Amino acid sequence: MARTTFDASIGGIRSAWGPLSTELVASCSQHLQKLIQSPVTEEWLASLHREAPAYQELYRDPEQGFILLAHTEPTGLYRPPHDHGRGWVIYALQQGEIEMGTYARIENADGSVQLVKRGSTLVRPGDVQVYLPGDIHDTRCVSGPALLFRFTDRDLKREDNEEHRVTRYVERNGNWTIGAR
């Protein structure tokens, strides 16, 4: 059986895996960049284009715990500002365009929290975007359907739902602030 770009990318990430470092992030980013340049004739990618899943787990490493997900997002889909708890994430875009904004968390003199937007990046096919622990961002699909891969160093659903380490923000009176849990 012929080895796919998917197999090569996962194998490359597995062989580079270790504690979070500049080198690990660079290696994972390179492997994901190769992944999103896969020929659409590879069945795993052709299937994603045909089925256009909103959410699909593609790989979960049984030893290291990292996860690769695929998301198909329609134009206009917005995900409000959030962080990833203790986790780090690499987004890799295969199709479409997604705007990703970045924020700083500011504590006011009265103890309230608000976000200040730093800027935004238009992520296009072939681009990867890295968010480390503590980074806050939002996403908006500006040209869809977008096929987005999300690589995480851990199970973020568990980080959010069980351990309550992910912070989500809501807009109140024109400012982004911590949402209720």
Single pTM value for the model: 0.91
All structural domains of the chain with their residue ranges: 43-178
The reply to whether omega before 145 is within 30° of 0 (cis) is yes
Cβ atoms 27, 16 nearer than 8 A: yes
Alpha-carbon distance 26 to 31, whole Å? 9
Average pLDDT, integer, range 153-167: 73
What pLDDT digit, counting tens, does each position of 79-126 carry?
Answer: 999 998 889 999 999 999 999 999 999 999 998 899 999 999 999 999
Alpha-carbon distance 118 to 16, whole Å? 32
What pLDDT digit, counting tens, does each position of 129-148 carry?
Answer: 999 999 999 999 999 999 99
The Cα diameter of the chain in Å comes to: 63
- Among 117, 154, 122, residue whose Cα is nearest residue 137: 117
Q: Which fold has domain 43-178?
A: Jelly Rolls (2.60.120)
